[in-house]
Structure 1
Amino acid sequence: MPFPLEPTLSQVDLPVIDISEFPQDLSQLRDNPLLAKLRKACKEWGFFFLVNHGIPVDLLQKAEDVCRDILSLPTEVKDRAITSNPFNTYSRSPELEAFRYSDPTNPASIEQTCAKIYPEGNPIFCETMTTYVSSVSNLGEKITKIILASLGLDANAFYHSHFDKFASVLRINGFPSDKVSIGEEVLIHHTDLGCVTILYQDDVGGLQIRSVEGEWFNVKPLPHSFVINVGDSLKAWSNGKYRSAEHRVVYNGWRDRISIGFFTFFPDETEIWAPVELVDDENPRRYKPFVFSHFMQEFMADKENNERATAIESFAGV
């Protein structure tokens, strides 16, 4: 079935990055055209498609299938997974429902929630999502290193000194098609607050990205790819060299939509401060140092006040 674009918006052809073209040793890639392409994507959009990522297509499809299964359960069953932890819970509204898993690389995180939903067990769901998370977590390390290399840094050294302790959250999103109207914003416009987001989406579409000029664009799904985007924390750490772009999901009138997001974060007590290698006379320091947990508090306060989360800008200026 063709992808039904919102007629009032143009479609953006996001840059496509083939990760298989990068060698394991990134130390000699500073002037490589592959990095130049990635650098341009991160500066202009903060988003790109990732292909030939090494995660089997059948695993992607199986993950989508088991996520559809759990989202299709009766509401009273899914409600068993509700907790007081906003990063490890089930939540729902007419436009969006989501399962969130904090520390998903620990299999117990998925298994504990699964046990609440399926008292008799569901090894297919647990095994599929545990395998998926392990694969995507490894991919996250590769992507982060390549992004570091594109900034002109020693990728391995900076990864191990700044990023190898990153935390993560897995989020399974369901967008019911029978409860919203065409053109309705079902995931409010926002920026991601972490480092790197690795998003798998089905073929329904609805993702939109805001350009530097403030114009919204439709993003047509690319089969078997991931959508990668830079978060606010990495934007600040890069001294603003890379964008953290606003994005949203708008219902486009086809069928229920599924997405699976893997979000990487700095640990709570990490002080985020652009390294001196990214600061010079032409690029003065743009953000004050801040502790990630403090940034998270600003972010949550914005949400509670029903405002778009712009907490990163409260740390702008030195």
Structure 2
Amino acid sequence: MASKTTSIPVLDFYGDGLEPGTPSWAQLSAEVGHAAREFGCFEALWPTSVADRQLLFPKIKEVFALPVETKRKNVYEDPLSGYNGPHRPFTNLESLGINGADSLQGVEDFTNVLWPQGNPDFSEAVYLFLKKLSEFGGIVSRMVLENLGVEKYHDGLMETLDCHVRMMHYKHPLNGVSRIEGLGAHADSNFLTILFQDEVNGLEVLNKQGQWIPVLPSPNSLIVIVGVTLVAWANERIHAPLHRVSMIGEKDRYSMALFMMSKAGKMVRTPEELVDEQHPLIFKPFDYFKFRRMYLSEFERFNLSNPSEACLAALKEYAGI
């Protein structure tokens, strides 16, 4: 099932009859488990993503073409869930967010804020795509848990997760500058990230050998990235990679990321099957949103003291044993 690997594993999700218990599922599941352990990410060849790009990216560009005062109406209780303009540590990035992104109501709430007169074409197209993206995330999550030997927890775990989406716009370098940092080096704090991007590259991943490697996906693929919360849940049996976006050339970059994250008030708790003499328990149960608030409030301290593992270091300080 694996395609040729360039910088990170490339896994083929086009297979017919990809159902749990089938040989094709078992083989792909093993490859997903290996990628989660050794790379913390992979490229997924995924049906329909070419057509989805042709439909979705004009709509994403439509959002960012709105006046700044309109985009600033994208507000949620969590300050990083709504509109963010270019600022540190996101030096060249403009983004907007959709909470409850796997529900039609969540997408319509977002749409009606930006277009009070309504924009049903946008709502329907974005919701249908995000619903598929969420279902794909469930498949990947099940495969990761299978390889950890704890697949019995999958359905219950999925009930504790929400989907948040960010649409992102990176501006290209100006004034003779050849390269700019679009998004600083970081590990995602959430459970699992699925990235859907246009034809403008820029994503780079730090491998375990300490080398920054470019991720150059094909037009029919997604990028899957393990987050620190899943690493904690799995008792550090998998890897959350440091990654960044570097902008070169004369084109802006647009992308959409679905973040699977624990719901507020739901505790992240390592299954007892993943704890033994060789793998002692590393994290106490914790509330993801309380941890995230702490981490964001003290971001500079962690980033300056341990930039290569800032998020994981923060979690170990917050919930480590």
Distance 1:87 1:108, change over 3 A: farther
1:45 maps to a residue whose letter is: F
Contact 2:74 2:97 in 1 (8 A): no
Is residue 48 of structure 2 the alignment partner of residue 48 of structure 1? no
How far 1:144 sits from its partner (Å)?
0.8
Aligned residue for 2:317? Answer: 314
Is residue 103 of structure 2 the alignment partner of residue 106 of structure 1? yes
Alignment of 1:138-217 (within 5 A): 138-153=135-150, 155=151, 157-177=152-172, 181-217=177-213
Aligned residue for 1:228? Answer: 224
How far 1:91 sits from its partner (Å)?
1.6
1:174 maps to a residue whose letter is: H
Alignment of 1:271-282 (within 5 A): 271-282=267-278
Distance 1:108 1:229 in 2: 27
Distance 1:214 1:123, change over 3 A: same
Contact 1:185 1:251 in 2 (8 A): yes
1:125 maps to a residue whose letter is: F
How far 1:132 sits from its partner (Å)?
1.2
Contact 1:204 1:254 in 2 (8 A): no
Distance 2:262 2:23 in 1: 27
SS at match of 1:283: coil
Distance 1:317 1:111, change over 3 A: closer
Mark the runs of 5 or more structure 1 residues left unpaired by the alignment: 1-10
Distance 2:69 2:184 in 1: 26
SS at match of 2:72: helix
Distance 1:175 1:108 in 2: 28
Aligned residue for 1:265? Answer: 261
How far 1:213 sits from its partner (Å)?
2.8
SS at match of 2:179: coil
Distance 1:203 1:56 in 2: 12
Alpha-carbon deviations, 1:90-110, whole Å to 9, x = none?
221161110111111232322
SS at match of 2:59: helix
2:228 maps to a residue whose letter is: D
Aligned residues: 304
Q: Which moved more, 1:130-139 or 1:85-94?
A: 85-94
Alpha-carbon deviations, 1:130-178, whole Å to 9, x = none?
111111111111111111112122x3x3112222331110100001225
Distance 1:314 1:80 in 2: 35
How far 1:42 sits from its partner (Å)?
0.9
TM-score in terms of structure 2 length = 0.85
How far 1:85 sits from its partner (Å)?
3.8
Partner of residue 83 from structure 2, selected from 77, 82, 90: 90
Q: Which has the higher contact order (CA 8 A, sep 6+)?
A: 1
Question: Identity over aligned residues, as a percent?
Answer: 26
Distance 1:58 1:279, change over 3 A: same
Is residue 20 of structure 2 the alignment partner of residue 34 of structure 1? no
TM-score in terms of structure 1 length = 0.86
Alpha-carbon deviations, 1:55-108, whole Å to 9, x = none?
453223211110012112333332333555425422211611101111112323
